[in-house]
Amino acid sequence: MLLFSDKKSDFLIPDYQRPYAWEEEQCQTLWDDIFSFAIPDNNYENFNDNEEYFLGSIVTYKNENDKMEIIDGQQRLTTLMLLLRAFYVKFGKMQDENSKKTREMISQCIWKTNAFGIADVNKLKINSEVATDNDKEEFLEILKNGEVKKEQKSNYAKNFRFFQEKIDQFLSEYPAYFAYLPARILGNCILLPIDAESQDTALRIFSTLNDRGLPLSDADIFKAQFYKFYGEKGEKDSFIVQWKELEEICGEIFYPTTGTPMDELFTRYMYYERAKRDIKSSTTEALRKFYERDKYSLLKRADTFNNLKILANFWQDVSNQNSERFSDKILRKLFTLNYAPNGMWNYFVSVYFMHNKDSNEKLDDNKFENFLTKIIAFIWTYAIVNPGVNALRTPVFAEMLNIVNGKSVEFAGYKFDFNNTKNAFEHYVFSNGRPITKSMLTWWAFTNNEQSLPSAETIFEIEHIFARKRQENHKTLKNEKNLESLGNKALLEKRINIRASDYRFSDKIKYYQGFTNSKGQLKKGTQIKELVKLSEGNIDFTEENIENRNRQIIDNFISFLNENNLIK
């Protein structure tokens, strides 16, 4: 294993890496794989000296201190170090020539050596600075001393004990060729070193190679910069506690399609900083590129980390529908936005909050409601008239700049033509697969002032009031397009929609209203007030009802646009 025995090897597990996570299951797999290779069929004589076993790659780059900073392979490298150290302890009690030679070979992998290849047991070949790993010192102590204490419960200690037990068992069962196993690990097991010219190159290589586990996120890199910044102020421990708390919050509230929950927080904050820098370009640079400007100067500002915490707390309250922070009218608007046709509103609202929050991190209720109302009207319409989130960036980015400059959000240069907009709505195909369909139905549900606020966990699907199956079987509708129009659709809880999907309207009534089944169990009806009202006043839902309701939804939405001064 030349990567370990190389005199120049000086590994550093950097501060932005994740804590050591391997447990007994992974160690057992590693042991079984190595043993099967080195002692084929439990017989050391079956081994082919010309064969090699590939243990994986180690991606590193040499940092400014000439340390081999590990980007990929940290878990594997750490575990192999523990395994070799366990072997070294066992060979310390053996005096035969093969054991002495094997012990010397192992020592050259664990400790730095002098010009004559003699190990200096005071200089390990590996060091860990992982910011969020409270047990890293335990790892280094195990390598230095070769022992663990009973009270030590870290993964390092558990895995070292595991390897010690495996080595004892191996020695007991195969004493005659005990020395062959570590010798073959060192001589025939290959760790492929990939030494990149820079950290960015190393990270790109890692992303290409890695098909197991999680690659380093942008937030991991940012964490390292914060760690250094707060370390220089003597506040490392406090920072780590706060970072872990922030990770927990983000993990509970953000579910990004790419990147980690912490990346999502940094992204939302990035738009606020972009706006403050007067950047309105619709082309957004990569997250890491933005934050690494001027040698990560933004992350070396005293207010940045605090702002991230404030922003995360805001979104946590949005997610939890915190009625102490938000009024009911705000929570209703935020619930509607959860069904927006795209995610741009999250960045828009983040910028608004960061600029307009008061000293108690609160917003003026009326102004915030007006802002949310206007962006619902605009984003919904833009999804019909100019579909695609990229097109939406241009007007939204311009308004983000208005926000940080103290101006109101008006979309002055992007108002809609009345006739073109109404025509677009009337001819738009509101299929279930288009996000704007559920967006429109959510908006429509909340035009009813009696509509209660559902919990954030409630899963809504799209209900065809006049069932598809009914049309398939009876061809009742003269205009087939009416089946997929907004006039025939509504939000309905998934738990109800599954049962009611193919029924005639007269059969659906009890599902909308709720009923007691044959077992005496109460089955709750829908929270959607419009459906309850429809089921109370009608025994059927006809094509005329669909067309009238469709006209009503579209006309009301056009009026909604006009009320928000978004019509030219």
Other C-beta atoms closer than 10 Å to the C-beta of 50 total 6
> Which spans in 405-466 are helix H?
418-427, 435-445
**Least confident residue range of 22-26, 70-74, 252-256, 347-351:** 70-74
Question: For residue 90, which of 146, 37, 36, 40 has the smallest C-alpha distance?
Answer: 146
Other C-beta atoms closer than 10 Å to the C-beta of 14 total 22
Q: What is the pLDDT of residue 367?
A: 97
Q: What is the pLDDT of residue 211?
A: 46
Q: What is the pLDDT of residue 12?
A: 92
Contact 529, 536 (CB under 8 A): no
Contact 284, 410 (CB under 8 A): no
- In order, the DSSP letters of 335-366 are HHHTT-SSTHHHHHHHHHHHHH--TTS---HH
Residue 355 binned pLDDT confidence (cut-offs 50, 70, 90)? very high
Question: For residue 382, which of 360, 406, 399, 362 has the smallest C-alpha distance?
Answer: 399
- What is the SS3 assignment for 462? strand
Q: What is the pLDDT of residue 5?
A: 58
Residue 273 C-beta-side C-alpha neighbours within 13 Å: 22
- pLDDT surpassing 90 at residue 119: no
Other C-beta atoms closer than 10 Å to the C-beta of 132 total 18
pLDDT in tens, 284-342: 888 989 998 998 999 999 899 999 999 999 999 999 999 999 999 999 999 999 999 99
CA distances from residue 23 to 29, 77, 87, 156, 160 in whole angstroms, order as listed: 10, 14, 19, 9, 10
User: Tokens representing 207?
Assistant: 């992303």
Q: What is the pLDDT of residue 213?
A: 47
Residue 443 binned pLDDT confidence (cut-offs 50, 70, 90)? very high
User: Tokens representing 106?
Assistant: 């192992």
Residue 401 binned pLDDT confidence (cut-offs 50, 70, 90)? very high
pLDDT in tens, 362-397: 999 999 999 999 999 999 999 999 887 688 999 999
What's the predicted TM-score (pTM) here? 0.74
Cα 113 to Cα 9: distance, rounded to the nearest angstrom: 10
- The alpha carbon of 206 is separated from its chain's Cα centroid by a whole number of angstroms, namely 18
User: Tokens representing 565?
Assistant: 């001064």
C-alpha angle with apex 292: 290 to 296, nearest 5 degrees? Answer: 125
User: Tokens representing 525?
Assistant: 């009806």
Average confidence (pLDDT) over 542-554? 97
What burial class does residue 26 get, using C-beta atoms within 10 Å of its C-beta: 0-12 exposed, 13-18 middle, 19+ buried? middle
